[in-house]
Amino acid sequence: MRPRTGRRFPLSALLIALPLLAPAGLIAAPPDPTGGASGAGAGGGGAAIAGGGAAASQRAPHGRADIVLHGGPVYTMNPVRSWAEAVAIKGDRIVYVGSSQGVAGFINPGRTKVVDLKGRMLLPAFQDAHIHPISGGVSYALGCTLYDLAGKEAYQKRVAECAAKPAAGGWVRGDGWALSAFAPSGIPDRRLLDAVSPGRPVYLESSDGHSAWVNSRALQIAGITRDTADPPGGRIDHDAKGDPIGSLQDTAMALVAERIPPYTAEQRREGLRYALRMLHGYGVTSFQDASVSEEGLEVYRALDEAGELTARVVASLWWERDQGLEQIPRLVDLRRRYTHGRVRATTVKVMQDGVMEVQTAAVLKPYLGKGPGLGLTMIEPEKLKAAVTALDKEGFQVHFHAIGDRAIRDCLDAIEAARRANGARDARHHLSHIELFNPADIPRFRQLGAVANFQPLWAYADPYITDLTLPFLEPGRQRWLYPIASLLRSGAVVAFGSDWSVTSANPLEEIEVAVTRMGAQGETRTPFIPEERIDLRDAIAAFTLNAAYVSSQEDRTGSIEAGKLADLIVLDRNLFAIPPEQISDAKVLLTLFAGKPVYGDLTLASPAAGAAGGN
């Protein structure tokens, strides 16, 4: 939903190596180097999940460790003991968390690799609760990407370059243009593309994936004329004369997209490899793929079977809106066939509305100055209740796309109906994006056991907010945009995701904006709805233990505890010892997945600039 933030410059190698460590010897509760209270990640009163089931004994080393990390602050996410000094790893597991003195018994000189953190910070690896790795990876590895560009003219220049290259099928395809580049309407014009690619058809998705910008040749191939009716759940935009302008919303995008030859299986695998490299560079080793086709499931399976899938993946299967409950046996079959190895196809994605910026988000009151419409409600509320009740009964987690206050309410109503019919099971249904709330719905997340899955990078006053959202909302409703702190205070479980490739996949940028409500790169200097800022510890919880909860793996990942999997990262500085505006300047130096480096190495030398890939 946001223009991608630009690539960062490599940081100086300066480390903030503060003398953080307390005297060794305290196993139970090393002091909190921030001087704050030790405690759960939910300092703001919201729920952080206590990881269970990881109660391996620390008393006696059952074997020597393969790796010991010590000499820097270890932020554990353990609700009882937030900070430690040292960690020992054997195989894929953490076998010890505690003091520098206590870890000594795990070191076998000559065999154990001992890493001196030199004041750098050890954290559980990040987990992204909503991301599109295959499509994003394919787009970056193979497509005509516009994400890092500044506006119309830059887009034209890039498209001209893409159109000059030969490509199979003749199509120029890509994504990443910003709706804000076409403010105030958010609607681009085909003639800008005709000027740079008159012959080859062009299909470009917006950065949020909800709009397509196409040229005249593409409209012609798809047979779209001034008389073509809008498909259900979609809109063909027109110019003043009534001709298609070259902008397609939501389901109308498919009218053109279905004419484009699909990427091959090998191209998709290449895309996923790209995404994994990038994510490891950002310290991410688990994620929930927010929408996976059967072809996508094959990609995950292929990499898993080849030993290349260095991540724990929950795949969200796609709910076909034009079908009803008859599709459930197909989903059950996909879950059975593709839940294997590091992949669990245990979730179903239900898309309930569009986006605020082009007034397709489903809202409770009309957009100001935009007529009586209430946006797009993708699934009629009674049908949604029936679908969610049936999916819940079948043991699926439901992952909703809900942005407007009406969509949020409809999704919560559907969860409520499912609980009434099936009883309260440990379903962990979650609502993603959740931009505009009616405050009456805030306490319902906790009441219904629904997880609030925010993309906090969007929660500052960028042009999407100031130009394309606020003007269409009454002041009383403007207050309830991305109310993350209110959800935490209500006791809801709050998890974070990036929605990459919509916006940056770097959790440190997301965490910074959640804490400051300002642009991660200084784009704004005034917090946006400052009462919705949250604590750093809550923001880290949302990208570790609480995201693990969304993917039902908080018993083995998401915190640093003996018995849990050694999915860990080292940052070049202690996030608690720097001003919040510098959080996104921190760099990942090492990412361990199941005890093995997948980014950086045990020397903790700063990995080469650009090795992270992506933006």
CA dist list (Å): 126 to 87, 225, 247, 454, 469? 17, 47, 36, 15, 30
Nearer to Zn ion, 574 or 615 (CB): 615
Residue 58 vs 316, nearer CB to Zn ion? 316
Q: How far is the CB of 431 from Zn ion (least distance, A)?
A: 12
Q: What is the DSSP letter of 457?
A: G
In whole angstroms, the minimum distance from the beta carbon of 290 to Zn ion comes to 4
What is the residue-wise DSSP string for 534-586? --HHHHHHHHTHHHHHHTT-TTTSSS--TTSB--EEEESB-GGGS-GGGGGG-
C-alpha–C-alpha distance, residues 194 and 187, integer Å: 16
Question: In the bound complex, what is the minimum distance in angstroms from residue 132's beta carbon to Zn ion?
Answer: 6
Give the nearest distance from C-beta 497 to Zn ion in angstroms: 8
- Least spacing, CB of residue 499 vs Zn ion, in Å: 4
462 in the Ramachandran plot: left (φ > 0), alpha (ψ -120 to 50) or beta?
Answer: beta
Closest separation in Å from C-beta 164 to Zn ion: 31
- What does the radius of gyration of the chain's CA atoms come to, in whole angstroms? 24
499/538 with CB nearer Zn ion: 499
Strands (E), 342-480: 343-351, 397-402, 430-433, 451-454
Residue number, 429 or 556, with CB nearest to Zn ion: 429
CB of 503 to Zn ion, least distance (A): 10
Closest approach, Cβ 391 to Zn ion, in A, equals 19
Nearer to Zn ion, 405 or 499 (CB): 499
The smaller minimum CB distance to Zn ion, of residues 128 and 499, is found at 499
Shortest gap between Cβ of 382 and Zn ion (angstroms)?
26
Considering the complex, state which of residue 274 and residue 576 has its C-beta at the smaller distance from Zn ion. Answer: 274
Question: Which residue has 């270890």 as its token pair?
Answer: 74
Q: Which two tokens stand for residue 615?
A: 């933006």
- Quote the least distance from Cβ 500 to Zn ion, whole Å: 9
What are the distances in angstroms from CA 422 to CA 388, 389, 417, 448?
11, 7, 9, 13
Minimum CB distance to Zn ion smaller for 344 or for 401: 401
Q: Residue 289, SS3?
A: strand
Look at the block and give the residue holding tokens 């219904």: 448
Residues 433, 481 contacting (CB under 8 angstroms): no
Decide whether 290 or 461 has the Cβ nearer to Zn ion. 290
Q: Closest CB to Zn ion among 205 and 499?
A: 499
- Compare residues 21 and 129 and give the one whose CB is closer to Zn ion: 129
Tokens of 323: 């079908």
State the nearest-atom distance from the C-beta of 354 to Zn ion, in Å: 12
Query: In terms of CB distance, is 290 or 590 closer to Zn ion?
Result: 290
Q: Considering the complex, what minimum distance in angstroms separates the CB of residue 208 from Zn ion? A: 8
Residue with tokens 């925010």: 454
Token couple for 375: 């946006």
User: Please, what is the minimum distance in Å from the beta carbon of residue 130 to Zn ion?
Assistant: 6
Nearer Cβ to Zn ion (190/428): 428
Q: How far is the CB of 501 from Zn ion (least distance, A)?
A: 9
Q: Between 292 and 387, whose beta carbon lies closer to Zn ion? A: 292
Preceding amide of 184 cis, omega within 30: yes
Sheet strands side by side (includes 234-238)? 144-145, 172-177, 202-206, 211-214, 244-250, 234-238
* Contact positions vs Zn ion (CB under 5 A): 290, 499
Burial (CB < 10 A; 0-12, 13-18, 19+), residue 322, is exposed
Amino acid at the residue 546: N
- The answer to whether the beta carbons of residues 554 and 87 sit under 8 Å apart is no
Q: How far apart are CA 19 and CA 563, in angstroms?
A: 29
**What values do phi and psi take at 428, rounded to 5?**
55, 40
Element (H, E) at 214: strand 211-214
Q: Which residue has the tokens 């993946």?
A: 313
d(CA 256, CA 279): 31
Nearer to Zn ion, 87 or 290 (CB): 290
Listed in sequence order, the residues at least 6 apart from 454 whose beta carbon sits closer than 8 Å to its beta carbon are: 433, 434, 482, 484, 487, 494, 495, 496, 497, 514, 542
CB of 434 to Zn ion, least distance (A): 12
Pairing of strands 126-131, 284-292: parallel
